[in-house]
Structure 1
């Protein structure tokens, strides 16, 4: 039985591991993965101190003021060439234009001026836009359908190109920088943030693509990108609407810089990003910092630059690592919860959740590793729920089994009352006022000699069944079968104020119900098998005797019990004999006749014995019924 239980537990553990592992493998979206992303967003949020923007990263905004002054988009490219020249001559480290120039401009002279500027200043970076396949051939890949390069009329060299693709997760949030993308020819084009970060990094920490190892490196340290060449990015500024006063990257209006209101020398030694900063230009994205307020693309690129410069790279754990956490937590939970039940199980479950959460946080801060949280957590919770349900079902089965077994000794009402009390069954007893009834079959020995053993057992079982039903009908407790006899108790384990009356009525019930069986036995075997009954009332020690660990018997001990047994041994076939104590408590309820004083074994003086003939049949008088069972303790 125990082996089968463990096999079932192991099977459930395996199925749980397989289910959540498979779900974590297949799930690339949905509620669980959104929850996973939200948890990561909360952990990665910077404190106010950590959020301080890099002072060497500055923005020039194509804002509403610039649009009002210079006209609506698209602008003449000569404006860009003029501003770039001003910044480069003033000593800006790098200048990035976050404006797509994929088609030749309307004015060839302006394009020529732009081309001349690009040639003169190699630290100028122009954007490349990748059009990715709507349906990727491989899971988790970023495959290219086409690439939009700057127009040839601008004359940008390959070293001046970087992609500006900002790839959103399925919930529309930008969380990662795509370090590089491959074009149709397999050439890797770095991200705009990578190009600009290298202008702020020393030569020993430059970010480069190693084609031989097919990996990205920051100096000699490999960057832990995923199979999409993506990396979780930190955010150092909040969406502008979150703040009453904008405290993000130093940002000035395009028109103010171009007109000289902001001197170009202000940008000496800085990396400058020029891009849209007005709602109508439709270059806004959600970030982990807000579920409703968007951030402009140029500011997202600035955050990515600072994240790459900081070099604190976070990556997601591989599938084997996540599977390991799912398996370990599931099996550990099942192992523990198999042995622990009740309130302790909830305490251990809460402890497991807290420990797992802290391990998850520590792995992030110490190893810069994100392991999946929701799937191991749900696997552990599944194991916990299974264990709780399993223990509950087992306890219900055991309760029903005990109830059914105990119900063979006492009425079901008594069983329910004892179970509801919640009292532990232990070795020991207490003094109680009870009535004890002994019943024995007269003529059993002659009958046994005339019948086959199987027939004897059949007749005996019929008599004992009559006795048991009568005891239970009047709320008695069946103590034990003694050969061809029965011992029953009234008034314990549940208090019954009228227990002497109940005992007598149970005896009369036996007498009535056995009439048919007596007649059949007399007719078939010629032996009148009848009952002899003895009843006594008084104090006795009632409780459990035996071994605390192996076996307990609920019984009554004392002189009251002994006298009841002696009365039964003196009863003739069909007689119900009661003691003087019982008579005093039921007098007037039954028709009785005095037998007189009888000398019984164990008593120094004779005892007064009375025979019960039947119930009092006064006209209009109703017969007594069993009184409700009362709870309580003994005397």
Structure 2
């Protein structure tokens, strides 16, 4: 039995490991993956005190105010050339224009002005846009359909471009910075933010692509990108936040800087991003900071720049590590939950959950290392639920087995009461009003002399079986077998308002059921074996009597019990004798005949005895 139980539990453990590992491997982007991302978002969100936007990063907004002042967007490229020239001459470290200029403009003169700017100022960065295939050939692939470079009429050099692709997760949220993308010639094109971050980093911490090692580095530190060259980015500003030096990147309207209302010298030694900052320009995205408010693309790039400068990279654990966590936690849960049961199992589950989640938070917050959290936790919970159910089923099965075995030695009603009470069995009893039935086989001794011992046992068992079934049929408690006799109680441990009636009916049932057996004994051995029954009703002490440590018997004691035994001793074969007390309680229910007063052992005065002949209706 134990071996079978362990086999089932081990099989379930392996199934749970496989099931959750398989779901993790699918990476389907369903609700579990969204929950996983939500947990990571919570860890990465910084408090207001922790958020400190870099003052060296500034934004010039192409906002509604500028559109109203300068005309409908897109603008003439001469405006960009004029603003960039002002900023460059004022000493800006780098200027990034987050506006796609992939086609030649309507005015060749304006394109020529931009070309002059790009040639004169090497610290100007223009965007490259990668268009990916709608259907990728494999998981994790990023196959390119086309790449949009700045128009040839603008003449941006290879060191003056960076891709501006903002990659969204399956739930539409921007969490990752794509450090670099591969061009047609196999060369890596860094992200917009990488190009700008390098203007803020010293020579020892530049971000670059190591072609020999096929990896991205920040100085001597390898950047832990995923298969798509992505790394989790931190956010230092909230979507649609009032921009100020205290809460966000300094942000000014394009037209104010162009017209000189904001002095270009304000941007000296700063990295400047110029980009759309109006909802109508459709360059805004959901971030982990809010599921409803979107953040403009130019501000996302600013946050990515600062994230690269800070060098605090969040690493996602590789698949083998996550598989090991799922399997390890499931096996640990299996070993613990198999050992502890009941309330202790719930306590162990709570402690294990706290330790796991606490370890995950510590790893994420302090080590910037993300292991999967939902799949191991659900695997642990599944193992816990299985073991609780397993223990419950096993306990019910064992309880049923013990009840069946124990019920053969003591009354089944007593077993049920003891189990349901949940209390330890103790010596003692309580005063109850009951009816007691004593039954004895008349003619048993002559029969024993004529039959072999095995035959005697067989006949005796048949008689006792008749008695037992009759008692149980009438909801009585079989107290004990006394040699060839039986003692039964009615009204305890389960109360019965009509226990005298049920006791008499049980006696009549014994008499009816024994007729066939009586006839067979008379025919085969020549001895008429019949019952003699005595019944009395009244108060008695009912409970457990004996040794509390070794053996207890559930029984009844008192004068009521003694008189019932005396009546049975005076009963002739086939006779059912009841006391005056019992007669008074069943008057009119049965056909009776008075025997008169008889002298019984232990009583000074004779007692009135009545014989029950059958049901009153009969």
Settle same-fold status: TM greater than 0.5. yes
Residues 409-445 of structure 1: CA distance to partner in whole angstroms, max 9, x if unpaired? 788878766665x352503121434443332222234
Match of residue 425 from structure 2: 426
Match of residue 53 from structure 1: 53
Match of residue 24 from structure 1: 24
| 1:124 Cα offset (Å) | 1.1
Match of residue 599 from structure 2: 597
With over 3 angstroms needed to count, the CA separation of the structure-2 counterparts of 1:475 and 1:213, relative to structure 1, is same
Match of residue 311 from structure 2: 311
With over 3 angstroms needed to count, the CA separation of the structure-2 counterparts of 1:250 and 1:77, relative to structure 1, is same
> What is the rounded CA distance, in whole Å, between the counterparts of 1:551 and 1:35 in structure 2?
59
Q: Secondary structure of the residue that 2:217 maps to in structure 1? A: strand
Residues 155-198 of structure 1: CA distance to partner in whole angstroms, max 9, x if unpaired? 22211111111010111111110011111222111111111111
Residues 253-274 of structure 1: CA distance to partner in whole angstroms, max 9, x if unpaired? 1122112111111100100011
Residues 511-546 of structure 1: CA distance to partner in whole angstroms, max 9, x if unpaired? 233233323332343221101234455665533357
Alpha-carbon contact 1:577-1:609 (below 8 Å) kept: no
Q: Which moved more, 1:291-300 or 1:148-157?
A: 148-157
**Among 608, 611, 614, which residue is 2:612 paired with?**
614
Alpha-carbon contact 1:409-1:477 (below 8 Å) kept: no
> What is the rounded CA distance, in whole Å, between the counterparts of 1:297 and 1:38 in structure 2?
21
Residues 295-318 of structure 1: CA distance to partner in whole angstroms, max 9, x if unpaired? 111111001001111111112122
Q: Give runs of aligned pairs for residues 275-424 of structure 1, distance below 5 A.
A: 275-401=275-401, 422-424=421-423
Q: Which moved more, 1:566-575 or 1:5-14?
A: 566-575
Q: Secondary structure of the residue that 1:104 maps to in structure 2? A: coil
With over 3 angstroms needed to count, the CA separation of the structure-2 counterparts of 1:16 and 1:607, relative to structure 1, is farther
Aligned: 1:92 with 2:92: yes
Where do 5+ consecutive residues of structure 1 fail to align?
624-635
| 1:30 Cα offset (Å) | 0.9
Match of residue 493 from structure 2: 493
Aligned: 1:221 with 2:221: yes
Alpha-carbon contact 1:591-1:616 (below 8 Å) kept: no
Q: Which moved more, 1:522-531 or 1:492-501?
A: 492-501
Alpha-carbon contact 2:176-2:233 (below 8 Å) kept: yes
| 1:74 Cα offset (Å) | 2.9
The two structures, once aligned, show a CA RMSD in angstroms of 3.1
Aligned: 1:237 with 2:230: no
> What is the rounded CA distance, in whole Å, between the counterparts of 2:167 and 2:483 in structure 1?
88
> What is the rounded CA distance, in whole Å, between the counterparts of 1:622 and 1:569 in structure 2?
29
Q: Which moved more, 1:405-414 or 1:378-387?
A: 405-414
Match of residue 124 from structure 1: 124
With over 3 angstroms needed to count, the CA separation of the structure-2 counterparts of 1:430 and 1:549, relative to structure 1, is closer
Alpha-carbon contact 1:286-1:295 (below 8 Å) kept: yes
> What is the rounded CA distance, in whole Å, between the counterparts of 1:295 and 1:456 in structure 2?
96
| 1:92 Cα offset (Å) | 0.3
> What is the rounded CA distance, in whole Å, between the counterparts of 2:468 and 2:134 in structure 1?
81
Residues 191-248 of structure 1: CA distance to partner in whole angstroms, max 9, x if unpaired? 11111111111222211221122222212122111111111111111111x6598943
> What is the rounded CA distance, in whole Å, between the counterparts of 1:361 and 1:300 in structure 2?
25
Q: Secondary structure of the residue that 2:543 maps to in structure 1? A: strand
Q: Secondary structure of the residue that 2:599 maps to in structure 1? A: strand
Alpha-carbon contact 1:580-1:608 (below 8 Å) kept: no
Alpha-carbon contact 2:131-2:145 (below 8 Å) kept: yes
Number of aligned positions between the proteins:
614
With over 3 angstroms needed to count, the CA separation of the structure-2 counterparts of 1:144 and 1:548, relative to structure 1, is farther
With over 3 angstroms needed to count, the CA separation of the structure-2 counterparts of 1:17 and 1:276, relative to structure 1, is same
Q: Secondary structure of the residue that 1:48 maps to in structure 2? A: coil
| 1:498 Cα offset (Å) | 5.4
Residues 486-507 of structure 1: CA distance to partner in whole angstroms, max 9, x if unpaired? 2212332234465455434432
With over 3 angstroms needed to count, the CA separation of the structure-2 counterparts of 1:470 and 1:591, relative to structure 1, is farther
Q: Secondary structure of the residue that 2:512 maps to in structure 1? A: helix
Alpha-carbon contact 2:429-2:544 (below 8 Å) kept: no
> Structure 1 length normalisation: TM-score?
0.87
Alpha-carbon contact 1:86-1:264 (below 8 Å) kept: yes
Match of residue 626 from structure 1: none
Match of residue 134 from structure 1: 134
Match of residue 114 from structure 2: 114
Q: Which moved more, 1:531-540 or 1:21-30?
A: 531-540
| 1:121 Cα offset (Å) | 1.1
Alpha-carbon contact 1:579-1:608 (below 8 Å) kept: no
> Structure 2 length normalisation: TM-score?
0.90
With over 3 angstroms needed to count, the CA separation of the structure-2 counterparts of 1:245 and 1:260, relative to structure 1, is closer
> What is the rounded CA distance, in whole Å, between the counterparts of 2:316 and 2:547 in structure 1?
59
Q: Secondary structure of the residue that 2:520 maps to in structure 1? A: helix
> What is the rounded CA distance, in whole Å, between the counterparts of 2:545 and 2:324 in structure 1?
53
Residues 77-111 of structure 1: CA distance to partner in whole angstroms, max 9, x if unpaired? 22222211111111000011111122222333332
Match of residue 210 from structure 2: 210
Match of residue 160 from structure 2: 160
Aligned: 1:576 with 2:576: yes
Residues 437-479 of structure 1: CA distance to partner in whole angstroms, max 9, x if unpaired? 3322222344455557776555434322321232223332112
Alpha-carbon contact 1:427-1:547 (below 8 Å) kept: no
Q: Which moved more, 1:371-380 or 1:488-497?
A: 488-497
> What is the rounded CA distance, in whole Å, between the counterparts of 2:162 and 2:277 in structure 1?
20
With over 3 angstroms needed to count, the CA separation of the structure-2 counterparts of 1:370 and 1:551, relative to structure 1, is farther
> What is the rounded CA distance, in whole Å, between the counterparts of 2:546 and 2:310 in structure 1?
76
With over 3 angstroms needed to count, the CA separation of the structure-2 counterparts of 1:340 and 1:280, relative to structure 1, is same
Match of residue 518 from structure 1: 518
Alpha-carbon contact 2:341-2:388 (below 8 Å) kept: yes
Residues 30-86 of structure 1: CA distance to partner in whole angstroms, max 9, x if unpaired? 111111112221221121122232111111111222222322233222222221111
> What is the rounded CA distance, in whole Å, between the counterparts of 1:244 and 1:225 in structure 2?
31
Q: Secondary structure of the residue that 2:122 maps to in structure 1? A: coil
Alpha-carbon contact 2:207-2:219 (below 8 Å) kept: yes
| 1:582 Cα offset (Å) | 6.0
> What is the rounded CA distance, in whole Å, between the counterparts of 1:248 and 1:181 in structure 2?
29
